[in-house]
């Protein structure tokens, strides 16, 4: 089970966003990914292997963590970053998504 917190994060443009993803057991950082989803759109891969940005993802998105605790950080929120973010892990051919964190405009 992947548990994300907080459920909702209310911030202003330019602020720093810190999103948490906690696994119920130790997971490999190689298999931890983050996705962004905007209303009416399919999810988009942001980070893979905990900290590696997917093609075209801006440097303001970064990831860290190991073991059971992982973090997605957006250094300075841009208007297009307000969305829902999901972490995801694959363990032993079982794929799991967190329940999501909504980043909304304060």
Partner 1 sequence: QLQLQESGPGLVRPSETLSLTCTVSGGSITSDNYYWGWIRQPPGRGLEWIGNVHYSGATYHNPSLKSRVTMSVDTSKKQFSLKLSSVTAADTAVYYCANYCSGDSCSSPNAFGIWGQGTMVSVSS
Contact positions toward partner 1, by CB under 8 A?
30-31, 33, 35, 37, 42-45, 48-49, 52, 54-55, 84, 86, 88, 90, 93-100
Q: Say whether the peptide bond before residue 64 is cis (omega within 30 degrees of 0).
A: no
CA–CA dist 93, 28 (Å, integer): 13
Q: Please state the closest distance from residue 14 (CB atom) to partner 1, in A.
A: 28
Q: Please, what is the minimum distance in Å from the beta carbon of residue 32 to partner 1?
A: 9
Closest to 37 measured CA to CA, from 4, 6, 83: 83
**Minimum distance from residue 82 beta carbon to partner 1 (Å):** 17
Q: Within 13 Å and on the Cβ side, how many CA atoms surround 66? A: 0
- Give whichever of 11 and 45 is closer to partner 1, judged by the CB atom: 45
d(CA 59, CA 52): 10
- Closer by beta carbon to partner 1, 35 or else 82: 35
Tokens representing residue 6 in the block: 């907080």
Q: Which is nearer to partner 1, 15 or 91 (CB)?
A: 91
Output the smallest distance, CB 66 to partner 1, in A: 15
């Amino acid at each position: 089970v992947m548990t994300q917190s907080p459920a909702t994060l209310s911030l202003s443009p330019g602020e720093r966003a810190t999103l948490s993803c906690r696994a119920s057991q130790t997971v490999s950082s190689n298999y931890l990914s983050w996705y962004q989803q905007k209303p009416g759109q399919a999810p988009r891969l942001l980070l893979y292997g905990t900290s590696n940005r997917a093609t075209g993802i801006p440097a303001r998105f970064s990831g860290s963590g190991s073991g059971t605790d992982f973090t997605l950080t957006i250094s300075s929120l841009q208007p297009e970053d307000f969305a829902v973010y999901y972490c995801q892990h694959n363990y032993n051919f079982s794929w799991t998504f967190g329940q999501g964190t909504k980043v909304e405009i304060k």
